[in-house]
């Protein structure tokens, strides 16, 4: 995900502006790597072979301007990409050899609402729906398959506040923020398709939506940072659900914090723990924004743009997390600058990080004790086109573990790598 935001017609979403309270965008800091070194204590023993590169407005491809997040449908036949600069959801067909072909695009317009500053998406477990969250529209846009299996825009859920008001700290705006979606930034869905969770930067909140048996999405409530000082939801920028649906975890960008909620049988959330940089041995967890759980639910990985680092926590049988490792650019690694997105391989043995400032993808191996070891770093200067990984925004591994997809926010591209 994004470290910080800069957005509008002639700009890409980059890591050179800081999310402040209520999402105000102020050019203040440009994150750089803590240490630039020629010594690299890792190998390149596992090749990441470039398979395909799709670029916005090239060869009839559209919808990759400021590309943010990509995800395959459950049947693996289509790839969905949201783009912040294009305000869009793009769909690509995927053939048996994992070759992508542009299919269609939904763009924010008079009939399609809720895609202005599209930041993230999630596909329902049955593949029938796609939910997209938008930063500037502060909305959840819903797309659903028709009888022919083609996605169509259904509706957008939002408070309807104008953009100029969304990022205002006026009390009147806060009072109109009923859904907790101001600056909506990330979304997650339970594996049983019963609930959605949205992390919103300007609302400083995680919002809970129930999905009933008829498929209706119903707002339940929002948990806001102001509700409890222990929450650490200031600048809520990422949300994930543990594999067994028992916990919801939120990254608080502005508070250098990770908040864990236990989820009960009725879908209610109860605060369990807040992990804060500088406490209980935690280091380099500055501006956390990318979260991922190992498939077995035993480890939590955090990508931190401010700390230029990847952090590892171990989860015990009681659902509590303890810090076990931090790997950062200051540890003689060059490739974690602006680390903003993290994911794992299906077997949990590999962890991949996208770093927007270093324009890099870092591959790590999980050791027996849960710690990580860097295997390789692929950067722009090491591949065919110098700008291909420009602003590496996200990484996604295909369910069969054979392919890695990388979106680039400044490179306006989607890159497919073969991992085997």
Q: What is the DSSP string of 271-295?
A: EEEEEETTSTT--S--SEEEEEE-T
User: Within a domain: residue 6?
Assistant: no
Band of residue 388 on the pLDDT scale cut at 50, 70, 90: low
Distance CA 215, CA 398 (A): 27
User: Within a domain: residue 8?
Assistant: no
User: Within a domain: residue 362?
Assistant: yes
**Residues spanned by the domain of 165:** 18-418
- pLDDT, residue 391, reads 85
Which residue, 393, 420, 410, 411, is CA-closest to 70? Answer: 393
pLDDT tens sequence across 351-384: 999 999 999 999 999 999 999 999 999 986 544 4
The encoded tokens of residue 132 equal: 């997209």
**Does the CA dihedral 300-301-303-308 come out positive or negative?**
positive
Task: Between 395 and 33, name the one with better pLDDT.
Answer: 395
- pLDDT, residue 33, reads 30
- pTM for the predicted model, two decimal places: 0.90
Band of residue 119 on the pLDDT scale cut at 50, 70, 90: very high
Please state the domain count of the chain: 1
User: Within a domain: residue 9?
Assistant: no
Task: Please spell the DSSP secondary structure of 321-386, one letter per residue.
Answer: EEEEEEEEGGGT-SS-TTEEEEEE-TTSSEEEEEETTTTEEEEEEE-TTS-EEEEEEEEGGGSSST
- pLDDT, residue 347, reads 96
* DSSP-derived 3-state class of residue 218: strand
Band of residue 3 on the pLDDT scale cut at 50, 70, 90: very low
pLDDT tens sequence across 48-91: 899 999 999 999 999 999 999 999 999 999 999 999 999 999 99
| Residue carrying the six token digits 């930034």 | 185
State the chain's maximal CA–CA distance in angstroms. 58
pLDDT tens sequence across 122-159: 999 999 999 999 999 999 999 999 999 999 999 999 99
Residue 343 pLDDT greater than 50, yes or no: yes
Cα–Cα distances in angstroms (integers) from residue 420 to residues 46, 49, 107, 253, 377, in the given order: 8, 8, 35, 35, 17
User: Within a domain: residue 135?
Assistant: yes
| Residue carrying the six token digits 């072979």 | 49
Write down the H helix ranges in 93-190.
163-166, 171-176
pLDDT tens sequence across 96-109: 999 999 999 999 99
User: Within a domain: residue 1?
Assistant: no
pLDDT tens sequence across 222-278: 999 876 567 899 999 999 999 999 999 999 999 999 999 999 988 999 999 999 999
Residue range 308-324: average pLDDT? 97
User: Within a domain: residue 10?
Assistant: no
CATH of the domain at 179: 2.130.10.10
- pLDDT, residue 240, reads 98
pLDDT tens sequence across 9-32: 333 344 333 333 333 222 222 223
User: Within a domain: residue 12?
Assistant: no
| Residue 278 Ramachandran class (φ > 0 left, ψ -120 to 50 alpha, else beta) | left
- pLDDT, residue 12, reads 36
């Amino acid at each position: 995900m994004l470290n910080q935001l800069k957005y509008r017609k002639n700009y890409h979403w980059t890591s050179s502006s800081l999310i402040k309270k209520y999402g105000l965008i102020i050019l203040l800091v440009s994150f750089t790597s803590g240490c630039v070194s020629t010594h690299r204590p890792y190998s390149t023993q596992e090749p990441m072979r470039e398979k395909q590169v799709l670029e916005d407005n090239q060869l009839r491809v559209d919808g990759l301007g400021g590309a943010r997040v990509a995800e395959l449908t459950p049947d693996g036949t289509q790839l969905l990409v949201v783009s912040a600069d294009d305000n869009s959801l793009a769909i690509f067909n995927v053939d048996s050899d994992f070759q992508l072909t542009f299919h269609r695009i939904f763009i924010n317009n008079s009939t399609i609402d809720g895609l202005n500053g599209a930041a993230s998406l999630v596909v329902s477990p049955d593949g029938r729906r796609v939910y997209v969250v938008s930063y500037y529209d502060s909305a959840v846009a819903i797309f659903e398959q028709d009888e022919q299996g083609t996605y169509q825009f259904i509706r957008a859920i939002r408070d309807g506040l104008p953009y100029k008001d969304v990022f205002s700290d006026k009390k009147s705006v806060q009072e109109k923020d009923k859904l907790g979606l101001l600056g909506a930034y990330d979304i997650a869905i339970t594996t049983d398709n019963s609930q959605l969770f949205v992390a919103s930067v300007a609302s400083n909140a995680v919002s809970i939506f129930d999905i009933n048996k008829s498929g209706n999405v119903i707002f339940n409530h929002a948990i806001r940072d102001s509700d409890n000082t222990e929450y650490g939801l200031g600048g809520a920028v990422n949300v994930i659900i543990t594999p067994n649906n028992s916990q919801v975890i939120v990254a608080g960008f502005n508070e250098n914090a990770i908040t864990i909620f236990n989820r009960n049988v009725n879908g209610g959330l109860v605060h369990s723990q807040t992990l804060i940089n500088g406490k209980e041995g935690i280091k380099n967890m500055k501006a956390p924004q990318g979260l991922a759980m190992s498939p077995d639910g035993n480890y939590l990985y955090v990508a931190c743009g401010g700390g230029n680092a990847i952090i590892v926590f171990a989860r015990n049988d009681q659902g509590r997390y303890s810090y076990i490792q931090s790997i950062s650019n200051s540890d003689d690694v060059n490739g974690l600058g602006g680390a903003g997105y993290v994911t794992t391989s299906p077997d949990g043995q590999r962890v991949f990080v996208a770093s927007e400032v270093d324009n890099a993808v870092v591959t790590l191996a999980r050791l027996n004790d849960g710690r990580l070891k860097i295997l390789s770093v692929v950067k722009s200067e090491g591949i065919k086109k110098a700008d291909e990984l420009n602003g590496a925004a996200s990484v996604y591994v295909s369910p069969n573990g054979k392919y890695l997809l990388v979106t680039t926010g400044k490179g306006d591209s989607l890159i497919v790598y073969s991992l085997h």
